[in-house]
Structure formats: structure tokens, C-alpha cells
Amino acid sequence: MSLLSVSDLSIEYATPQGYVRAVDRVSFDLDEGEVLGIAGESGCGKTTAALSLLRILPKSAKVKGSVMFNHEDVLTMEDSRLRQYRWKDVSLVPQSSMNAFDPVITIGAQILEAIRIHEKVEKSAAWDRAGDLLESVGINRNRLRHYPHEFSGGMRQRAAIAMALSLSPKVVILDEPTTALDVVTQRQILNLLRRLRSRLKVSFIFITHDLSILGELSDRIIVMYAGRIAEIGKTQRIVNSPSHPYTKALFSSVLPVQGPLPVVKPISGLPPNLASLPSGCRFHPRCPFAFERCSLEEPKLVKIDDDTEASCFLLER
């Protein structure tokens, strides 16, 4: 039973050079209790796509396609329903949220605000709930009275996760939640997310540029490149045998700590400027396997097995 169903989502932004397509015909589903990872380099459209699920893109953004949450189209929701939907059904832990706390208000007050904006709750009841939330992310409740600067980076990230959980949403979108954290803190956050997921039956959409995290946390992975889906499917499948050359290249950029040291090759070139995309397959200028057809046509998503699809001509042979 799909909780969230995204269909042909396309998003265009206004830039000085004209409209640019940050997300191009992206489709995916999210089931209850599932962890979906979205991976890709900076600028591939993953954050844009995620923000559109909450309709918090700038007004100038043109969004096409449909985002169905439990049979309701989020993109055409009325404002009053939208306000309920945001945070109560789907919430967000934004990028750098550890730095997004208001430094002059206590953490408790900020969580309180998040709760009371959406629900009519007595202050003391809300305070209790905030305390519960903090404990669920491993922070002692008497820390509610502390200020953000008294928390470490990792703790602030947990507090941000607590805030996102404050109204018991069905889906939480996490945008690069561990990017600025060191490896031990990252490990703690990943453990926390795993625990929360099994306890709360919440679905996560986890956005990152670090595939190794998704390998251990997510059920399914979407790999995005220049606004399009390069590969989508079950994590096991993608980790064990990636199909798309870009996915392969991303995996080969991971530097393992244990096991044999593979020959690590960087992906040559840079991600394309969305205002002037290459012809045909967007990845072809950087692809070691590109052949003639790649510069002429854009490949469509091709089924590799029951759950996996990738868009590459190599797979159509």
C-alpha cells in the first residue's frame, strides 16, 4: 500500500538564464515503514524533489506532475489542508538543521512552537510531549531548557529529528542529515533512525551524496543525475550489482575502511549545468561506456528485474 506516490514530477526554476529544469519526470513510490534513499551529487535535484513533496519551493518554481499522499494530490491541496499535511503527515529535517535553530530560544521552546502551531495543545501537555520526543532521540528531557549552543552538533541534529517527529508524521524527509557530522556521531544518528523506524512505523526519505550510508539504512535507493532518475530499486540489488554506469561510478568512489582497497577512480568531469544539458543521455560526457546512441537519444527507464529500473542503453541490448 503506497503511502506516497510521485508521478512524472517535473520542477522548473527561474534563473537569469531562463527556466531551468531541476527535476525531470521523476516517479517513485514510498510504502509504509519504508526507508527510501535518494542519492546523487550536489545539484542533481534530490533536495528540490524532496522539498516539492511539502510544497515549500519558491513561488517562481513551476511544478508539474502529481504527488499523491493517501489518494490526495499534494500539489493541488487547498491551503488549509496543506498546512495540516505539512508536519502532521509529512515532515522535514532540512539540510544543516543543526545550524537552523534560533540561538536565543531554548530547544524546548522551539519544539513547543512546532507542536502548538499545528495542534491546540495545552502548554504543559506540549512541554511533556516535547520531553518525550527528546528522550526518544536519546537526549535527557531536562535538556529542554538548554540553548542550542549548549548542545553538540550531533545532539542538535537529534533535536531536529525530534522536532520533525513532534506530530507523529507518517513520513519524515531527511536532507543530508549526517553530512557535517563526524563518523561516530553519524553512526549514532544512523542507529537512532533505525530504532525510530522500527518503533514508530514511520517512513523515511533519506537524501545524501554518500551511498555507503544508504547501503546500510535504506530498503530502496533512487540514484539521481542532473534531475533524472538513473537507477531505482531495492538496495540489496543496487549495492551488489549496480546497473547504471553512474551508480557504478558512485560506488567506486566510496573509500572502504576494511577489506581490500579497490582501485578507486574518480568520475571525470563535472555534473552538467542544468541550463545547458548535454544532448542525449545526460551522463554520456562522463561515462566510460558511452557509445554513439548515447549522445543522440535520452534513455528511458528500463526494467532490470521486478523492483529495479535503470535508464541506460547498455541495458537495452
Partner 1 sequence: MGTDVILDISELGVDFSTPTGLFRRSRISAVDKVSIKINRGESVGFVGESGSGKTTIARCIVKLIEPTSGHILFNGQDIFEQNSAENKEYRKHVQMVFQDPYESLNPRSNISQIVEEPLIVHHISPDKESRRERVYELLSLVGLEKELVKRYPHELSGGQRQRVSIARALAVNPDVLVADEPVSMLDVSIRVGILNLLKELKKTLNLTFVFITHDLGVARYFCDRVAVIYRGQIMEVAGTEALISETRNPYTKLLLDSVPGNREAGEASAKDEAEWADGKRQFSDIPSGCRFNPRCPNAKEQCTKVPPPLEALGENHYVACHYPLRP
Residues that bind partner 1 (CB under 8 A): 41-42, 138-140, 142-143, 146, 152-155, 158, 181-188, 190-191, 194, 209-213, 215-217, 249-250, 253-258, 261, 264-267, 270
Q: How far is the CB of 192 from partner 1 (least distance, A)?
A: 8
Identity of the residue, 17 or 152, whose beta carbon is nearer to partner 1 in the bound complex: 152
Q: How far is the CB of 261 from partner 1 (least distance, A)?
A: 7
- Side chain identity at residue 180, one-letter code: A
Query: Rounded to the nearest 5°, which phi and psi values hold at 269?
Result: 80, -170
Identity of the residue, 235 or 311, whose beta carbon is nearer to partner 1 in the bound complex: 235
Q: How far is the CB of 266 from partner 1 (least distance, A)?
A: 4
Identity of the residue, 88 or 248, whose beta carbon is nearer to partner 1 in the bound complex: 248
What are the start-end ranges of the H helices in 37-182? Answer: 46-52, 79-88, 107-118, 123-136, 153-164
- Written as nine digits, the cell of 317 is 541490448
Q: How far is the CB of 147 from partner 1 (least distance, A)?
A: 12
d(C-alpha 204, C-alpha 224), whole Å: 17
- Side chain identity at residue 196, one-letter code: L
Report the C-alpha dihedral over residues 140, 119, 165, 9, rounded to 10 degrees. -160
**Residue 271 CB contacts under 8 Å (≥ 6 apart), including other chains:** 41, 42, 43, 44, 225, 226
d(C-alpha 129, C-alpha 91), whole Å: 17
Q: How far is the CB of 229 from partner 1 (least distance, A)?
A: 17
Identity of the residue, 71 or 266, whose beta carbon is nearer to partner 1 in the bound complex: 266
Identity of the residue, 155 or 294, whose beta carbon is nearer to partner 1 in the bound complex: 155
